[in-house]
């Protein structure tokens, strides 16, 4: 499974796409929680030949994969699913992992970060214009 490669998204014909609204489902961890100083670009570049870092040639062809989050904050995302929506969507949610997600994805995180605590990994769902930074979703809001 290829998970840490960055690259420009391509459309169905294999050519680079223009910026568009993109909906993303990912598991996000702060870089400081996994011992990465600064952002995750250098870390991902150093692992780009590994399967867990390859996003595939066509959007949606290879999930999950690790990538630096497209935010101003320093996070590493395990992208579970993303799709170009063509229109703005007001989603923006963050939650803890479900037991099923923890069972399925924690071993993948621990291949690279053996001491990572499951509580530091948050499931995020958001929409952003991929020509700009995405929202820094990570904090889980308590219900009032």
Model pTM score: 0.80
pLDDT band at 86 (very low <50, low <70, confident <90, very high): confident
Average pLDDT over all residues of the chain: 81
Within 10 A of 77 (CB to CB), how many other CB atoms are there?
Answer: 23
| Position with higher pLDDT, 113 vs 141 | 113
Give the pLDDT mean for 83-94: 78
pLDDT band at 134 (very low <50, low <70, confident <90, very high): confident
Report in angstroms the alpha-carbon separations of 72 from 3, 109, 134.
Answer: 21, 22, 8
Instruction: Give CA–CA dist 103/51, Å, rounded.
Output: 20
Give the DSSP letter string of 33-65. Answer: GGT--S-SHHHHHHTTTSBTB---SSTTSS-SE
Residue position matching structure tokens 């995180």: 109
| Position with higher pLDDT, 62 vs 115 | 115
Say if residue 144's pLDDT is above 70. no
Sequence length of the chain is 144
pLDDT (tens digit per residue) in 22-50: 889 999 999 999 999 877 888 888 888 88
Q: What is the DSSP letter of 140?
A: P
pLDDT (tens digit per residue) in 113-130: 999 999 999 999 988 887
Give the pLDDT mean for 62-77: 89
In the chain, what are the helix, strand and coil shares in percent, each to the nearest 5?
Answer: 20, 30, 50
Output the CA torsion 37→65→44→34 (10° steps).
20
């Amino acid at each position: 499974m290829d998970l840490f490669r960055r690259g420009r998204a391509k459309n169905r014909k294999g050519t680079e796409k223009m910026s568009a609204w993109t909906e993303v489902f990912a598991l996000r961890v702060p870089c400081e929680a996994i011992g990465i100083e600064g952002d995750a670009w250098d870390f991902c570049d150093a692992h780009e030949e590994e399967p867990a870092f390859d996003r595939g040639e066509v959007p949606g062809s290879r999930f999950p994969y690790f990538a630096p989050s497209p935010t101003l904050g320093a996070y590493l995302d395990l992208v579970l699913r993303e799709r170009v929506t063509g229109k703005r969507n007001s989603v923006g949610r963050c939650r803890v992992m479900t037991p099923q997600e923890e069972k399925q994805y924690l071993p993948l995180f621990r291949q690279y970060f053996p001491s990572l605590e499951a509580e530091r990994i948050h499931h995020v769902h958001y929409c952003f214009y991929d020509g700009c930074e995405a929202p820094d979703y990570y904090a889980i809001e308590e219900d009032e």
